[in-house]
Structure 1
Amino acid sequence: MDERVTQQIIEAIADVEGVEPENLHNVLEDEVSTDAIRELVNHSSNSWRLQFETRNHIIQVMGNNTILVDGKQKRASF
């Protein structure tokens, strides 16, 4: 499965926190099913949106290659 989307979510969170991805305190897999995210990305339609919360952030991932972290848009390519 394509790992790009989960990596891009991690990078977007790190960007909002102002740290390098490897310095994040939370592990994404502990917060949400990354398998489910990858399955959505591989869906035939791009008209979907997933929202979930981590301890410190509200994350939205959309089928149009957009990731929002606390409302701040990050363009992705998944």
Structure 2
Amino acid sequence: MQQFLPEQIIDEIATEKNVEPEHLELQLQRYVSTDAIQALANHENRAWRLQFKTPNHVVEIAGDGTVLVDGQ
């Protein structure tokens, strides 16, 4: 089963900050609609990309499940 994409984004940001996800003080939904992200992830067409900013990071996600934080 594929991980819920917003959770994967939080995990990747936490990894970038070198903290556990539960210690990350970030409410993702303040910067992007997590419902919209998951709707994109559930869509049949995988030819999409979405980029958004949080206070300290640029996050890019793609239809193939790739999540990049600050380009990594």
TM-score bucket (shorter structure):
over 0.9
Identity, in percent, stands at 48
Aligned residue pair count = 71
Q: Which runs of 4+ in 1 moved over 3 A?
A: none
TM-score (ref. length: structure 2)? 0.92
Where structure 1 has 5 or more consecutive residues not aligned to the other structure, the ranges are 73-78
1:3 shift after superposition: 6.5
1:59 shift after superposition: 0.2
| Aligned-CA RMSD value | 1.3
CA shift digits 1:27-72 (9 cap, x unpaired): 1111110011011011111000000000010000100110000001
- 1:40 partnered with 2:40: yes
Structure having the higher strand fraction is 1
Give the match's secondary structure for 1:71. coil
1:65 paired residue number: 65
